[in-house]
Amino acid sequence: MIDYLPILALFVLAVAFAFGTILASHLIGPKNPYREKLSPYECGMPPVGNTWERFPIKFYIIAMLFIIFDIEGVFMIPWAVVFKRLGMFGLIEMGVFIAILLIGLVYVWKKGALEWE
């Protein structure tokens, strides 16, 4: 159990630093609130209209597709690092992985999910 003492000490130090920084910012920081400062900030534009505006589902579908194909790259980097050690087995496995992703991409393309209206 004594081996975990440095980890516990680092954890306590990190939590104390986080709370200490927030507390110091609250105590030392300037406090001059005014209307513009307290208004919600969104891309430098003043908020106009209803805040409960519904977004088309197309935005979420594009975001999910981006994440799926972004994760593909995350899986390919470690494979490329150990490519020589994996040999033909690794090449075939990555080929199967890319084929499955290409089938998914063709399916999404045929469904029209990539069309921006």
* pTM given for the model: 0.50
Q: Give the residue extent of every domain in the chain.
A: 2-111
Whether the CB-CB separation of 47 and 39 falls below 8 Å is answered with: yes
DSSP code at position 45: B
- For residue 113, the model assigns a pLDDT of 81
- For residue 107, the model assigns a pLDDT of 92
Work out the mean pLDDT of the chain and round it to a whole number: 86
Which ranges of the chain have pLDDT less than 70? 41-47, 51
CA distance 111 to 100: 17
DSSP code at position 89: H
Residue 67 sits at the vertex; the CA angle it makes with 62 and 88, to the nearest 5 degrees, is 125
CATH number of 2-111: 1.20.58.1610
- For residue 41, the model assigns a pLDDT of 67
- For residue 52, the model assigns a pLDDT of 76
- For residue 18, the model assigns a pLDDT of 97
